[in-house]
Amino acid sequence: MRGKSLKLIVTFKGGTDALAFERYCQAREVPGRLIPTPRALSESCGLAWMAEPEFRKEIEKAAQEGGLVFERFVELVC
Partner 1 sequence: MFSKSLDMTGKQCPIPVVEANKSFKTFTVPGTLEVLVDNETAVQNLIKLAGSKSFEVASEKKSDKLFSVKFSVKPTSETLEADEPTVCIPDMRGGNVVAISSCYMGSGSDELGAILMKGFVYALLQMETLPSAVLLYNSGVKLSCEGSDSLEDLRNLESMGVEVLSCGTCLDFFNLKEKLAVGGVTNMYTIVEKLCGASSVIKP
Residue number with CB closer to partner 1 (5 or 64): 5
Residue number with CB closer to partner 1 (59 or 78): 78
Residue number with CB closer to partner 1 (46 or 61): 46
Strand order in the sheet with 6-11: 33-36, 47-51, 6-11, 72-77
The answer to whether 9 and 50 have CB atoms below 8 angstroms apart is yes
Interacting residues toward partner 1 by CB under 8 A: 1-5, 15, 19, 33-36, 46-47, 77-78
Instruction: Give dist(CA 56, CA 69) in Å, integer.
Output: 16
**Shortest Cβ 23–partner 1 spacing (Å):** 11
